[in-house]
């Protein structure tokens, strides 16, 4: 589904990604882990098309198509979703009307029927159950005055509405208490399907107890230093990141 | 009368022309005092500090005549919640056939000034004698207007609707007048709208007197013609524990200026919110004055402008906290969105604080749309244009969220959608 080859990217002329290789297939759950400043959030933003980052080399194919030929909105309509670490507040636009607008743009791109406000009302009331969101949050302005946890709930709701092929979830666990983390982790698990892939970007291994990845990659200094199965997350929980960095440094020195 | 100026343009003696119409007989003292002040001061000079960003040259080149009585079709302006609680004024004259007050509750006076007793409604008694020369012009020549009086402890369930409409063949000047008095513990929602067609000057004056514990929610909509001049004055005095909440929404007029002046007594609350949507070469100026005269008052101002084309917005927000006004809580925010390179905003907070135990804050932002916000919406599948339009719409619609009359809120949202190119985004309400 997603094939990343020797991807390099920079921000304001400073290299942040220094050669990433990663293959993600449909049905797989990958976790990108790493210390702060490692470049793991950058990877998500570059894939989603954040305008501050410049792709300086390499290639990313999404379902065989060059991702960098597509504007961010076209990537979204093609089936890439990024759950933001810090979702943006948009005053004056109700959450429900924004969700319907986003749904209809995707439906239009997919050649499906758009939903009118009444139809969407039924549709969204089913979806909010999945993330245990209270109804009042549909009428409020998009993310405005939402707590950190409520914003994350809204991100997963958007994922449920947009039904992406590839969902990149950037630091889903930040700002969440344990209960909310379990609710959203379960929601993500229920959304996972054989034709969908997940890329979980996280600093802390805790979320991976709920959303269990088949593949764990440690990113540091703009490179993937180590890839393994889910047991790597457990090891990182016990030992931290330093040993991976040391191991990589030693490997590099040899 | 016309004289040649240094610039070579014919410049009328605007004041002389406007005062050439006969002085109406009622309210003689008020009119005489206003004319005396005008004789002394004249209209604002181009170099005066208070008017330095708002050029009245274009106004001075037009010879405005008196506005004749006219008939208009108001059906498109009626709102279902207020069909039986409306007073309509056309060209400054009361329009009895298009007004309807059948649903106004007993005890509430909602009348044309021309039918009200002079003794009962002391016009010109709220606030300072003269906040602006255009207020004096109004006092000198207003034909009619509305008076609203809500008696003690009456909470009026239906909002009242005031429509001031100007329909001009040639350039005319109109001077709408409004006096609102809420007695102790009374509550009212009032919608004041200004509409028009043609080239005209409208200089409305609104006086508001709120007694102890009374609450007025005042929605003000300015949808004047793109060729019109709107120079308005509002003065409100809020007694102990009373509340005055106003929201002024400016869409029309080539040049508009709003001058709200509010005095808060002990524990009183006031909000003065504003939204101006400007395009082409429109100019919209707001000069507000929030006067915390006594302790423990709370005031809140959110003023937003969206400025496109070569338009220009001016905001000058004065807050005065008197020495005895301890415990004052005053907030002021001026937020401005520039949509074009040649659009311009001049925003200036002016806080004068003479008490030491107060919370006062102000902030001003002027800028374009935030790229992070645009990216967020694009990452949800909206193309760049849709994302921009949605953010622009939201910036404005934010001010409309708490408009209490549902049909008005809907109409205003549609108007904002049209002006922010957000119509293609479908129903956003």
Q: Which residues contact B29 (CB under 8 A, 6 or more apart)?
A: none
**A106: closest chain B residue by CA:** B381
Strand B145-150 relative to strand B187-197, pairing:
unpaired
Q: How confident is the model at residue B8 (pLDDT cuts 50, 70, 90)?
A: very low
- Does the pLDDT value for residue B69 go beyond 80? yes
- Does the pLDDT value for residue A254 go beyond 50? no
Q: ipTM score here?
A: 0.96
pLDDT digits (tens, 9 = 90+) for B140-162: 999 999 999 999 999 999 999 99
| Test mutation, B368, B380, B429, chain A, max A CBs within 10 A | B380
- The answer, for A158 touching chain B at a CB cutoff of 8 Å, is yes
* B53 DSSP assignment: T
Residue A253's φ and ψ, nearest 5 degrees, are -75, -30
How many contacts (CB atoms, under 8 Å) link A and B? 96
Higher per-residue pLDDT: B102 or B11 = B102
pLDDT digits (tens, 9 = 90+) for A20-37: 999 999 999 999 998 888
Which of A191-195, B129-133, B229-233 has the weakest average pLDDT?
B129-133
**Gyration radius (Cα) of chain A, Å:** 18
The reply to whether residue A92 touches residue B379, judged by beta carbons under 8 angstroms, is: no
Q: In whole angstroms, what is the distance from residue A214 CA to residue A233 CA?
A: 10
Tell me the nearest-neighbour CA distance from A231 into chain B, angstroms.
32
**B392: closest chain A residue by CA:** A92
- The answer, for A52 touching chain B at a CB cutoff of 8 Å, is yes
The reply to whether residue A73 touches residue B390, judged by beta carbons under 8 angstroms, is: no
pLDDT digits (tens, 9 = 90+) for B383-427: 999 999 999 999 999 999 989 999 999 999 999 999 888 777 877
The reply to whether residue B426 touches residue A104, judged by beta carbons under 8 angstroms, is: yes
Quick one: pLDDT at residue B42? 85
Higher per-residue pLDDT: B5 or B114 = B114
SS (H, E, C) A140-205: CEECCCCCHHHHHHHHHHHHHHHCCCEEEEECCCCCCCHHHHHHHHHHHHHHCCCCCEEEEEECCH
- Does the pLDDT value for residue B429 go beyond 70? no
Task: Tell me the C-alpha to C-alpha distance, in Å, between residue B229 and each of B59, B255, B309, B413.
Answer: 7, 5, 19, 24
**B382: closest chain A residue by CA:** A73
The reply to whether residue B387 touches residue A73, judged by beta carbons under 8 angstroms, is: yes
| Test mutation, A72, A78, A163, chain B, max B CBs within 10 A | A72
Q: How confident is the model at residue B12 (pLDDT cuts 50, 70, 90)?
A: low
Residues on chain B touching A72 (C-beta within 8 angstroms): 375, 378-379
Cross-chain CB nearest to A117 (options B372, B382, B427)? B427
Q: How confident is the model at residue B5 (pLDDT cuts 50, 70, 90)?
A: very low
Quick one: pLDDT at residue B119? 57
Nearest to B175 by CA among B137, B142, B206, B220: B142
Strand B145-150 relative to strand B109-112, pairing:
antiparallel
Query: Residue A215's CB: how many other CB atoms inside 10 A?
Result: 19
Quick one: pLDDT at residue B52? 84
3-state secondary structure of B168: coil
Which of A70-79, A168-177, B190-199, B287-296 has the weakest average pLDDT?
A168-177
Quick one: pLDDT at residue A37? 85
Tell me the nearest-neighbour CA distance from B106 into chain A, angstroms.
37
- Does the pLDDT value for residue B25 go beyond 90? no
Quick one: pLDDT at residue B7? 41
pTM assigned to the model: 0.91
Helix axes A95-110, B384-397, angle to 10 degrees: 160
**A95: closest chain B residue by CA:** B428
pLDDT digits (tens, 9 = 90+) for B306-360: 999 999 999 999 999 999 999 999 999 999 999 999 999 999 999 999 999 999 9
pLDDT digits (tens, 9 = 90+) for B236-269: 999 999 999 999 999 999 999 999 999 999 999 9
- The answer, for B183 touching chain A at a CB cutoff of 8 Å, is no
pLDDT digits (tens, 9 = 90+) for A74-126: 999 999 999 999 999 999 999 999 999 999 999 999 999 999 999 999 999 99
**A97: closest chain B residue by CA:** B428
- The answer, for B396 touching chain A at a CB cutoff of 8 Å, is yes
- The answer, for A240 touching chain B at a CB cutoff of 8 Å, is no
- The answer, for B357 touching chain A at a CB cutoff of 8 Å, is no
């Amino acid at each position: 589904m997603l094939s990343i080859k020797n991807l390099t990217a920079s921000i304001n002329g400073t290299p942040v990604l220094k050669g990433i290789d990663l293959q993600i297939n449909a049905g797989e759950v990958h976790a990108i882990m790493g210390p702060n400043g490692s470049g793991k959030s950058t990877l998500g933003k570059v894939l989603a098309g954040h305008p501050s980052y410049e792709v300086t080399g390499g290639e990313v194919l999404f379902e065989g198509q060059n991702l960098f030929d597509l504007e961010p909105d076209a990537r979204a309509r093609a089936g890439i979703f990024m759950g933001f670490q810090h979702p943006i507040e948009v005053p004056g636009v109700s959450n429900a009307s924004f969700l319907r607008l986003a749904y209809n743009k995707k439906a239009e791109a997919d050649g499906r029927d758009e939903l009118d406000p009444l139809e969407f009302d039924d549709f969204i009331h089913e979806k909010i159950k999945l993330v245990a969101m209270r109804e009042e949050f549909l009428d409020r302005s998009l993310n405005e005055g939402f707590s950190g946890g409520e914003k994350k709930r809204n991100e997963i709701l958007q994922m449920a509405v947009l039904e992406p092929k590839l969902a990149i979830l950037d630091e889903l666990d930040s700002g969440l208490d344990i209960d909310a983390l379990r609710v959203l982790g379960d929601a993500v698990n229920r959304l996972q399907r054989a034709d969908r892939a997940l890329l979980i970007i996280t600093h802390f291994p805790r979320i991976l107890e709920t959303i269990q990845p088949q593949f764990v990659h440690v990113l540091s200094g703009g490179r993937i230093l180590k890839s393994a199965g889910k047991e790597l997350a457990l090891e990182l929980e016990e030992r931290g990141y330093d040993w991976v960095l040391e191991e990589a440094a030693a490997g590099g020195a040899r | 009368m016309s004289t040649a100026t240094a610039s070579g343009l014919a410049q009328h003696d605007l004041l002389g022309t406007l005062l050439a119409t006969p002085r109406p007989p009622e309210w003689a003292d008020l009119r005489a005092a206003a004319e005396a002040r005008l004789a002394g001061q004249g209209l604002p000079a181009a170099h005066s500090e208070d008017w330095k960003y708002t050029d009245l040259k274009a106004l001075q080149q037009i010879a405005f005549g008196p506005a004749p009585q006219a008939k208009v079709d108001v059906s498109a302006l009626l709102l279902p919640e207020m069909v039986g609680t409306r007073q309509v004024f056309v060209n400054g004259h009361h329009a009895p056939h298009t007004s309807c007050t059948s649903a106004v509750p007993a005890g509430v006076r909602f009348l044309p000034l021309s039918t009200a007793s002079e003794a009962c409604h002391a016009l010109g008694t709220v606030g300072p004698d003269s906040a602006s020369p255009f207020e004096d012009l109004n006092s000198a020549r207003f034909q009619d207007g509305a008076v609203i009086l809500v008696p003690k402890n009456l909470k009026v369930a239906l909002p009242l609707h005031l429509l001031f409409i100007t329909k001009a063949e040639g350039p005319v000047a109109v001077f709408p007048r409004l006096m609102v008095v809420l007695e102790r513990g009374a509550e009212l929602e009032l919608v004041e709208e200004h509409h028009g067609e043609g080239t005209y000057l409208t200089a409305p004056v609104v006086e508001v007197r709120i007694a102890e514990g009374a609450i007025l929610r005042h929605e003000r909509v300015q949808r004047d013609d793109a060729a019109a001049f709107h120079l308005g004055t509002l003065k409100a005095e809020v007694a102990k524990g009373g509340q005055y909440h106003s929201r002024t929404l400016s869409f029309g007029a080539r040049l508009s200026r709003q001058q709200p002046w509010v005095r808060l007594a002990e524990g009183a609350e006031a909000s003065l919110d504003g939204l101006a949507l400007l395009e082409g070469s429109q100019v919209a100026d707001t000069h507000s004055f929030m006067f915390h005269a006594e302790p423990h008052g709370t005031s809140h101002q959110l003023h937003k402008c969206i400025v496109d084309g070569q338009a220009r917005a001016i905001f000058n927000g004065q807050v005065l906290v008197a020495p005895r006004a301890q415990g004052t809580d005053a907030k002021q925010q001026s937020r401005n969105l520039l949509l074009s390179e040649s659009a311009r905003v001049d925003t200036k907070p002016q806080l004068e604080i003479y008490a030491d135990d107060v919370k006062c804050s102000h902030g001003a932002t002027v800028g374009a749309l935030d790229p992070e916000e645009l990216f967020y919406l694009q990452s949800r599948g909206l193309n760049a244009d849709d994302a921009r339009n949605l953010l622009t719409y939201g910036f404005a619609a934010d001010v409309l969220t708490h408009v209490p009359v549902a049909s008005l809120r809907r109409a205003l949202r549609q108007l904002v959608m049209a002006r922010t190119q957000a119509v293609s985004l479908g129903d956003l309400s």
